[in-house]
Amino acid sequence: NSKVIQTPRYLVKGQGQKAKMRCIPEKGHPVVFWYQQNKNNEFKFLINFQNQEVLQQIDMTEKRFSAECPSNSPCSLEIQSSEAGDSALYLCASSLSGGHAEQFFGPGTRLTVL
Amino acid sequence: QQKVQQSPESLIVPEGGMASLNCTSSDRNVDYFWWYRQHSGKSPKMLMSIFSNGEKEEGRFTVHLNKASLHTSLHIRDSQPSDSALYLCAASANYGNEKITFGAGTKLTIKP
């Protein structure tokens, strides 16, 4: 069973508010991914890290989204100014070595922006 | 931007029947495919992966890969109601950025 921990499980914010969610990867997994899964189950890659370094992030992430994975602290994903379209399930996954290794997913944070 | 196309979008199969799901990548650099299963309200879990041409079998699940056409398929025989889930195909290429791209999934329903 996956040991990726995500908090909180549910998050409700008003438009324009900040929304912050956290992820603790499986012990020993240096690579962390953030995905957004919308109500149509479509998966969108947001950003990934290897240790504390950003490997790749999409344009959307570069504008209103910020993420970090500090050493000895949980990884975090923050939306600076939430929009209704940000309502989705945010999934964190970790893996041993990235693209060619199995990803283990956390339970997700379901964000609702009113 | 690589796209991973899955078909069909949804599939209903009678209990005990065979379910066949398809997946194709548009990126000629893709060299690894994954199948993940996501039960309703749960997070995705890896089912099988494949990187060599041919077939790989694990119990009731068989995965095929044709690298020339960048097409993979997942076949579930003797389908059970517990197989009802969203099946996500993912593909990765060796770009060094560790990214994998997921398709939109096939929603499989097994009818008792």
Contact with chain B for residue A50, Cβ under 8 A: yes
Q: Which of A95, A100, A110, A99 is nearest to A2 (CA)?
A: A95
Nearest-by-Cβ selection for A45 from B42, B43, B101: B101
Q: Which of B90, B100, B86, B69 is nearest to B5 (CA)?
A: B90
The pLDDT > 70 percentage for chain B reads: 95
Query: For residue B5, is pLDDT > 90?
Result: yes
What residues of chain A score a pLDDT lower than 70? Answer: 1-2, 60-62, 98-99
Put simply, the answer to whether A31 touches B98 (Cβ < 8 Å) is yes
Task: Work out whether the CA dihedral A97, A103, A106, A112 comes out positive or negative.
Answer: positive
B90 and B32 in contact (C-beta within 8 Å)? no
Put simply, the answer to whether A48 touches B98 (Cβ < 8 Å) is yes
Nearest-by-Cβ selection for A106 from B43, B103, B107: B43
The pLDDT > 90 percentage for chain B reads: 79
Q: What is the DSSP code (8-state) at residue B94?
A: -
Integer angstrom CA distances of residue B45 from A38, A55, B35, B36, B38: 18, 23, 9, 5, 6
Residue B31's pLDDT band, with cuts at 50, 70 and 90, is confident
- B35-67 pLDDT, tens digit each: 999 999 899 999 999 998 999 999 999 999 999
pLDDT at B37: 97
Please give the average per-residue pLDDT across B90-112, as a whole number: 85
Chain mean pLDDT for chain A = 90
Tokens of A99: 């693209």
Contact with chain B for residue A55, Cβ under 8 A: yes
Put simply, the answer to whether B98 touches A107 (Cβ < 8 Å) is no
B76 and B19 in contact (C-beta within 8 Å)? yes
Residues of A in contact with B51 (CB under 8 A): 100
pLDDT at A14: 97
Chain mean pLDDT for chain B = 92
pLDDT at A99: 60
Nearest-by-Cβ selection for A100 from B45, B86, B92: B92
Please give the average per-residue pLDDT across B75-85, as a whole number: 97
Query: For residue B78, is pLDDT > 80?
Result: yes
Put simply, the answer to whether A100 touches B32 (Cβ < 8 Å) is yes
Chain A interface test: which of B37, B42, B100 (most A C-beta within 10 Å):
B100
Chain A interface test: which of B6, B36, B94, B98 (most A C-beta within 10 Å):
B98
pLDDT at A56: 82
- What is the DSSP secondary-structure string of A25-38? PPTT--EEEEEEE-
Query: For residue B95, is pLDDT > 70?
Result: no
Q: What is the DSSP code (8-state) at residue A80?
A: S
Nearest-by-Cβ selection for A56 from B46, B88, B97: B97
